[in-house]
């Protein structure tokens, strides 16, 4: 069933004639899509060295405390605190240096050293003067001073991370310190990427042929966003071939097609998906890339991205990335932004969310954003040579030159 505002009983010919008279707002389309995404429950145990950026599947606790022994927190001498009471520059205490600590004795320690038996404090080396085996102490210390107790960093059995946490290098260091060498994580969401179009070739195009880039680009975005991509061969604009391609990859968490998502005679993939399952949205109020279609076959979401390269990228960021996050238990993260001052006016149609590619610069007044000269949805260089995009919301018809706006760096890794 098509949920784009076009009558569901409309013939294919009428649908192509009418086009996208009504388009779903971006937020509504995303919400509809995510409602159709079920997070997978597959997990695997991986070594810590391979667990960076992976999402843990169970709560993780400390198998042992850190530190697991009392240790010196400073370079100096381990002492009994009582032996230093009253020590000062004017009235220092005299102690004897020995291996063991007992009444009237001190033992040399370094930061991280185990505190010798009998000691309960450490005098910093700069507060002492050693002559042979005689130690002069110029400052009193209290019991426990300059000593790291057992479990000061991590207590035994302490819960360190809850399920759903995405691991960072510092987390992995902490997990190793408490005695772990592997961790249970969710498997990466599996994504099938199917480029479509009989005009596509992988290299050396003849007139009328186009080098396939959308599938490769989407595949690399999937990997960057935490998924595992299967990059399929190009599928021709043939209903049987498209049907077989989609049906063959329904064991993946997400199926993505590129090209053939509009309403032309060769735009067949929405009809194929609607026959196999359901088209939830067809036509979204964003620019570039309004001919995107979002559907579901069985329990697998199917994203039908437009064939123009810029439109494909815009829709991948808006719909594929959050789908991966939902399917793979990945935390939702918006792109980092940079506030910049527009050097030229940008315009947008009313009711449409527009993504304006810009290059960042700097002048005497601060950071600037200059819209790229080439702005067509088929001009891949306008994305590849841009530093980000400015999002013009539906309620605005553009921004004036001189306005300060956030520039989204959509290509930030995570």
> Residue 320 — φ and ψ, nearest 5°?
-70, -45
Q: Which residue has the tokens 């006016």?
A: 345
- What's the pLDDT tens digit per position in 33-44? 999 999 999 999
pLDDT at 96 over 50: yes
- pLDDT value of residue 376: 65
Give the mean pLDDT of 153-181.
Answer: 94
Q: Which residue has the tokens 């192509």?
A: 16
Q: How confident is the model at residue 413 (pLDDT cuts 50, 70, 90)?
A: low
- What's the pLDDT tens digit per position in 13-31? 555 545 666 799 999 999 9
pLDDT at 9 over 80: no
Half-sphere exposure of 315 (CA within 13 A, CB side): 35
Give the mean pLDDT of 359-374.
Answer: 91
Domains of the chain in sequence order: 12-41+187-328 (3.40.980.10), 53-63+152-186 (3.90.105.10), 71-148 (2.170.190.11), 337-408 (2.40.340.10)
Share of the chain above pLDDT 70, in %: 93
Give yes or no for a contact between 237 and 260, defined as CB atoms under 8 angstroms apart: yes
pLDDT at 102 over 50: yes
Short-list 37, 34, 22, CA closest to 284: 22
Give yes or no for a contact between 300 and 157, defined as CB atoms under 8 angstroms apart: no
Of residues 381 and 251, more confidence is placed in 251
Q: What is the mean pLDDT of the chain?
A: 91
Residues β-bridged to residue 85: none
- pLDDT value of residue 140: 96
Give the mean pLDDT of 74-89.
Answer: 96
- pLDDT value of residue 2: 42
- What's the pLDDT tens digit per position in 289-336? 999 999 999 999 999 999 999 999 999 999 999 999 999 999 888 889
Q: How does strand 300-305 pair with strand 293-297? A: antiparallel
User: Can you tell me whether residue 161 is helix, strand or coil?
Assistant: strand
DSSP string, 294-342: EEEETTEEEEEE-SSHHHHHHHIIIIIHHHHHHHTTPPP-PPPEEEEEE
């Amino acid at each position: 069933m098509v949920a784009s505002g076009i009558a569901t009983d409309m013939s294919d010919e009428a649908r192509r004639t009418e086009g996208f008279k009504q388009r779903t707002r971006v937020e509504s389309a995303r919400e509809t899509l995510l409602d159709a995404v079920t997070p997978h429950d597959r997990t695997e145990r991986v070594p810590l060295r391979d667990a960076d950026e992976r999402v843990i599947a169970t709560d993780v606790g400390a198998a042992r405390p850190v530190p697991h022994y009392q240790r010196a927190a400073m370079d100096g001498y381990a002492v009994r605190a009582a032996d230093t009471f009253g020590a000062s520059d004017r009235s220092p205490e005299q102690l004897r240096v020995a291996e063991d600590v007992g009444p009237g004795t001190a033992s040399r320690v370094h930061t991280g050293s185990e505190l010798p038996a009998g000691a309960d404090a450490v005098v910093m080396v700069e507060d002492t003067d050693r002559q042979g085996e005689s130690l002069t102490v110029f400052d009193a210390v209290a019991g426990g001073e300059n000593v790291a107790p057992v479990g000061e960093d991590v207590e035994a059995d302490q819960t360190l991370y809850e399920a759903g946490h995405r691991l960072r290098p510092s987390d992995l260091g902490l997990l190793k310190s408490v005695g772990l060498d592997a961790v249970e994580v969710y498997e990466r969401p599996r994504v099938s990427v199917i480029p479509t179009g009989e005009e596509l070739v992988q290299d050396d195009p003849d007139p009328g042929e186009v080098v396939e880039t959308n599938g490769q680009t989407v595949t690399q975005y999937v990997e960057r966003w935490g998924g595992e991509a299967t990059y399929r061969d190009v599928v021709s604009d043939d209903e049987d071939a498209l049907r077989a391609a989609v049906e063959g990859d329904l064991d993946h968490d997400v199926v993505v097609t590129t090209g053939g998502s509009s309403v032309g005679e060769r735009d067949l993939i929405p009809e194929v998906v609607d026959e196999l399952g359901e088209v939830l949205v067809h036509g979204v109020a964003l620019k570039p890339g309004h001919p995107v279609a979002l559907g579901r076959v069985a329990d697998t979401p199917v994203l039908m991205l437009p064939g123009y390269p810029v439109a494909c990228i815009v829709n991948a960021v808006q719909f594929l990335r959050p789908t991966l996050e939902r399917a793979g238990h990945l935390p939702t993260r918006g792109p980092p932004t940079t506030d910049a001052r527009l050097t030229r006016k940008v315009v947008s149609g009313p009711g449409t969310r527009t993504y304006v590619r810009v290059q960042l610069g700097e002048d005497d007044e601060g950071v600037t954003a200059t819209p790229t000269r080439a702005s067509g949805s088929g001009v891949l260089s306008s994305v590849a040579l841009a530093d980000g995009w400015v999002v013009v919301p539906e309620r605005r018809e553009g921004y004036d030159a001189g306005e300060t706006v956030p520039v989204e760096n959509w290509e930030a890794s995570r």
